[in-house]
Structure 1
Amino acid sequence: MVRVSGVVLVLLIQTVTADPADYALRLAGGPNKCSGRVEVYYNGSWGTVCDNQWDMDDAEVVCRELDCGWAMAAPRSAHFGQGVGKIWLDLVNCAGSESSFSRCDSNHLGYGINSCDHHKDAGVYCSVDRVRLVNGPNSCSGRVETYYNDTWGTVCDSLWDLNDAQVVCKQLGCGKALSAPGKARFGPGDGNIWLTHVRCAGTESKLSHCHHMPIGLHICEHSDDAGVVCEGGYPVRLVGGPKSCSGRVEMKYGDSGDDGWGTVCDDGWDLNDVQVVCTQLSCGKALSAPGVARFGQGSGDIWLDQVNCSGTESSLSQCRHAEIGKHYCLHTNDAGVVCDDYAVRIAGGPNSCSGRVEIYYSNIWGTVCGEDWDLSAAQVVCRQLNCGWAVSGPLSSSFEHGYMKTWLTDVSCSGNESRLSECRHAGIGKDKCYHSAEASVVCSEGVILTPGGIAGIVITVIIIVLLAAILGFLYWKKKTQTGEITGSSKLQHGEEEINQGAPLTQDAGLVVA
C-alpha cells in the first residue's frame, strides 16, 4: 500500500512535457493577440487550461512564449468566455522562468485528466512588448523605457550591464551595444520605474525575456535610470553595382569578418525601404528599388525578409521585418537599390532656392567649387530641387561663405541633366577650392521682392509711363505743327491762283489790300 502511494506521489509531481511536434499554444476570445483564454494544442485538438492554482508565474511563461511581453494579470473563471472541447491541463505550476509553457511542472496525472468545467478556464493579460530610447542624441542611444499597463516607465540601473544593453539594442534594430550607462546619464525619467535587477545573457531577442524582479517592484529613484548607447544599426553595404551608391543590399549580422554578411529578400521591397538604405549610406535620394537579383545573386545567408520601412528610419534594421534569418526566398530574390550619389541643398541664402550649393557625402555637408560654374550647372540644381529655372549662377561671394570641405570641382553640365550627380566633375573631394569661389544659384522660385524692391519697381514703372507720356505729347505736338504749316501753304497757293485767274483793274472798282 505504501509502495502504491509512493508511485502515485511520483506521478503527481512529474513534469508532463508534450512532444514539440504535437504541441502549440494560443490565446483566444480576447481583445487582441496578447490577451485571452489560454488554449493548448495536444493530440490533434485544441483544449483549455483549468484555473486551479493559476497565477502570475504561469501567465508570465505564456506571455513570454507568445512573444507578448510581460504578464499583467492572470484572470480565472472563464474571464474571456468558456472554451469548448477538452480541458488539457490542470494544477499548472510554473516558476516563471521557463522558456516554454510545456516545460512547467503540471501536478496532474496526464493531459486531459482534471476535475474542472469550462467555467474555470484560465486566461492571461499580456503587455505589448515595447521598448524605446528617450532623450539621447539619436534613435539608438538614450534612456531605456518600457511600456507596461498602458504607461511608459523606466528601468533601474541595479545590475545593469552591457549584456542588458545588447538585448535592448538588438530589440530596436540598433546593432551592437557600445555602453550601458546608468545614473540617469540621459536625464531622469518620470512616472513609474517598471524594471530593476535585470539580468540578460545577451542572447535574448527582447528585454522581456530576461530575468528581472517583479514588474513595478523596486527601491530605485529616477536618478538611477538606465541607458544604452548602440552603434546605430547593423552595417549595410551595396555590392555588384556600377557605382558606390547602387547595388545589391547586404547586411552584416554577426561578429566575425565577412561571414556575417547576408542579403535582403525583395518581398515587399519598395522605394521607402531603398530611401532608408540610401540615408544610412549617405547616398542621397532613392531613385529605384530593383529586385530579382538585378545586381547579381548573393551567397550565404538571407538575413531580412518582408522589410517594411516608412522611409524616415535612420537604418534598415530599425524597419519592421520578419525575424532575422527567417524567410521564404532564394538568392534570385535579392533586393537592390539605386540611390543618387549624394544629396544636394541650397544654403546660406534668403531661402531654400537661392544661396550656396552644398552636397552631402560621407556624412558631411560640403561645397561645390565655383570655378567653371555656369548657368547650365545652376539650371540642373534648380531642376533637381524643384526650384524652377536658374536666374543666375553667381559665386557665393553673393551669399554667406560655407567654410567647409569642398566636395566637387570642375563641374560641367549641359543643363539637361535631372541631377547634379549626372554632370561631369573632377571627382568627389579630389581638389581644393577657395571659399570665395564657392558655387551658388538663384532660382526663379527663390526670387524675393522685398519692400525696397517693390518700391523700385513701382518707381521704374512710373518713370516709364511718364517718359511714354512725354514722348507721346512731343509726337502729337510735332504732328499738329506739321498740319498748320501745310494748311498755310495751301491758303497762300490758292490766293496766287485767284490773282492769276482774275487780274485786278482800276475800272472794276475793286481794291485789294
Structure 2
Amino acid sequence: NRVSTQWIWNKLLWTSTRCWCLLFRSGSGSTRCSGRVEIYQSNTWGTVCDDNWDLNDSQVVCRQLNCGTALQAPRSARFGAGTGQIWLDNVTCSGNESSLTECQHSGFGSNSCGHGQDAGVICSGEKNLVGSGSTRCSGRVEVYHNNSWGTVCDNGWDVNDAHVVCRQLNCGTALQAPRSAYFGAGTGQIWLDNMGCSWYESSLIECQHSGFGTNYCGHQQDAGVICSGPVRLVGSGSTRCSGRVEFYYGNTWGTVCDNGWDLNDAEVVCRELNCGTALQAPRSAYFGAVGGQIWLDNVTCSGNESSLTQCQHLGFGTYTCGYYQTAGVICSGPIRLVGSGSTPCSGRVEIYHNNSWGTVCDDYWDLNDAAVLCRQLNCGPALQAPRSAHFGAGTGQIWFDNVTCSGNENSLTECQHSAFLSKKCGHDKDAGVICSGEITFR
C-alpha cells in the first residue's frame, strides 16, 4: 500500500493475518513522538475516539513506538481532526499492554463520536527513566537512538543535565543528579558521555556531549535523575529556587491561587524542591500572570508537609480567583537551619551541594559570617554565632571550613572558605547561627 509522504510511519507490528500499524500524522504540531493516533485496519487508516482516553492508553502507544513515557493524553482533536474511518472507541488500557489493540475497546469500527474527538498522545521522546526503585520522575536515564535504548555515562553529569531531563519529562525541577549506577546498571549500548547542559536546553540531545556511542565508561557509571515531580517554579525573574508556583495534574501545568497563601505554604514548596527555607510567599502574580489552568486555591499547610498535595485545599480545579492572583515563593536557596531547638531563624547551618546537604565547620566562625547568613535568610541581624555543635551534631558531609566573611556579602558562598568537602574537623564543631528574627517585606 502506498502511504502519502505527509504521514510518518513509526512502527509496524506484524501478525500472521494483518498489519497493526500506529501512525502520527504530520502537521498540526505533531512530531515523531506526538500527534493524532491512527491505526491501520482492513487496508484503511482510521483514528481513535477520545471517550475515556487517558494517560494509561497513551503510555501503551508511547511504549509501542519506542517514544519513552506518556506525558499527556490530548483529546478533542488537539492535533487536528482526521478524516474517514474511526476505528476505536472507549479504549481502556491498564498501561502495561504491548499494543493498543490488546486494550479493551468497543470493537473495530464501533464508535459514538466524530473526528472532533480524535485522540492524541504526547510522549517524552527518546528518553526514559528506568531501573531499581525508579518512578515516573526518577530513575536511570536511557536514550533511544539508532533503534535501541542506551544509557548515559556520568562523566560530567550534574544537576544542569538532570534539569533538562526533568523538564522534558514534565517532572518539575531536578533535585539530584545521581551517579555511579544509583538506580542499577543498565545493559547494552552507552549512548552519551561528557554531558554539558547549560540548564536551558529543551532536550538532552541539544546539550554538548561526546557524540552518540562515544564514551569512556562502563555501566557502573550510568547516570540518573531525581526530579521534584509535579511542582516547578517559573515566570519573569524566576530562578531555581524562586518563581511562580505551578503544579502538574491531569496532564497539564497549572497555577496556584494566592487566597490564604502564606509562608507555611511556601515552606512546603521550598522543602519539596530542596531549596532551603521559605523567605517570602509573594502574591498577586509577583512573577507574572499567565492564562490557562488554575489547579489549587485556599491552600492551607502547617509547614511540615512533604508535598503541597498533602495540604488542605479546595480540590483540584476548584478556585475563586483570577490569573492575577497567582502564588509564588522565594526560597533561601541551598541553605537551611536545622537541629535540636532550631527555628526558622536559628539553628545548625547546612548547605546543599553536589546533591547532598552538609554542615559548616566552626573554624574562624564569627558574627560576620553569621550576619551574612541571617541577611540571606531575611532573618534580621545576627545575634550569636554558636560553635561546637550548639544545635546538635550533623551527619554526612562537612562542606565548608575556615569561612571568612566581611559581613557585607549577599551569600555565604561569596565568602572566603576552604574548598568544598572539609576533612579537618568533625561534626562536634558544626557551626550555627542565632538571628534576631524574620523581616517581612511590604
Shorter chain as denominator, the TM-score bin is 0.3 to 0.5
Which structure features the higher share of strand residues?
2
Work out which of the two has the higher radius of gyration on C-alpha atoms and give 1 or 2: 1
TM-score (norm 1): 0.35
Which structure features the higher share of helix residues?
1
